[in-house]
Amino acid sequence: MSTTVNNPNKACCTIPPVQSDYKPKGTYKSLGDYKRVYTTGPEKSENAIVCVFDIFGFFPQTLQGADIIADSLKTTVYMPDFFEPEEAFSIEKFPPRHDQDKQDLQDFFGGIASPPATTKKLTTFGAYLKSQGHKKVATYGFCWGGKVVVCGSGENTPFDASAIVHPAMMSVEDVKNLTIPFAVYPSQDEPESDYNEIVDVISKKRFANLCDHKYYKDMFHGWAAARGDLTKEDNKQAYEDVYGRLIAFFNKAL
């Protein structure tokens, strides 16, 4: 059974123009347990989508992607600041070049950015959105956020579909626990062998016909989020492609 979305709805695959110098359309609101939740799209929508940013937090490239998804699907997209009350990791320290930077990154993952703790935050927020009247809620994440998303997509998840883009700590074992439609879009910096195993696993799931996948072998880890360089044509094209696939996936899975 194929796990690639073939979406006949051209409107869902036609995204707004991608800009390298972007001013986000959404606003920051206090929602649930969070003082800052980037919110974009219609004020009210039947369904909702939650974005888990990478360790660098709110960045124009990530916010633009959320705006694109919200605009294309006419669905509210929420991006909570899961690092409250602390700050996101500084992109100036990545990749770590000095011992202190390495220690800071280790402390970050062991503290406010702990994947298990953030997974609990994510699923709690998803349940909150359901309690507010959204019939179906999906989630997607980048890098570290991808790890959080897949870990929050197992048994008793509040989510109805999930997707990960250039995920950090990509794990076949995590994917085996999936209970909802899933999409995976790794970069050249994630092992292709792991990707192939993951595709094999999701191809055997009962919801395989709703899943999607693509290996971006010419893209680097981070191209669709904070580390993306949309002034470069190849990065821009891959950015447009992956957001088009996310839109088609969520349109079909929700």
242 has a pLDDT exceeding 50: yes
The pTM for the full model equals 0.93
Model confidence band, residue 96 (pLDDT cutoffs 50, 70, 90): confident
- Domain boundaries, given as residue ranges, for the chain: 27-253
Q: Which residues pair with 31 in a beta bridge?
A: 34
Output the average pLDDT for the chain: 93
Look at residue 120 and tell me whether its pLDDT is greater than 80. Answer: yes
Cα 98 from Cα 75, distance rounded (Å): 43
Label residue 214 by pLDDT band (50, 70, 90): very high
Strand order in the sheet with 212-213: 27-31, 34-40, 76-80, 48-52, 137-143, 161-167, 182-185, 212-213
The fraction of the chain above a pLDDT of 90, given in percent, is 89
Q: Is residue 97 pLDDT above 60, yes or no?
A: yes
pLDDT category of residue 148 using cuts at 50, 70 and 90: very high
Name which residue leads in pLDDT, 225 or 96: 225
Q: Which residue has the higher pLDDT, 110 or 13?
A: 110
The confidence score (pLDDT) of residue 195 equals 96
CA-CA distance, 226 to 247, in Å (whole number)?
Answer: 19
Confidence of residue 151 (pLDDT cuts 50, 70, 90): very high
Is residue 103 exposed (0-12), middle (13-18) or buried (19+ Cβ within 10 Å)?
exposed
Q: 4-8, 185-189, 238-242 — which is least confidently predicted?
A: 4-8
Please tell me the predicted confidence (pLDDT) of residue 8. Answer: 36
Please state, in angstroms and as integers, the Cα–Cα distance from residue 18 to each residue in 27, 42, 92, 168, 205, following that order.
19, 20, 25, 25, 34
Cα pseudo-dihedral 211, 216, 221, 224, rounded to 10 = -70
Task: Say how far apart CA 254 and CA 247 lie, in whole Å.
Answer: 11
**CATH fold label, 27-253:** Rossmann fold (3.40.50)
pLDDT tier for residue 18 given thresholds of 50, 70 and 90:
confident
pLDDT of residue 15: 65
State the pLDDT at residue 187.
Answer: 96
Query: Tens digit of pLDDT for each residue in 28-54?
Result: 999 999 999 999 999 999 999 999 999
Q: Which of 165, 174, 164, 175 is nearest to 208 (CA)?
A: 175
DSSP H/E element including 35: strand 34-40
CA distance 83 to 144: 12
Mean pLDDT, to the nearest integer, of 166-176?
94
Residues pairing with 139 in the sheet: 50, 162
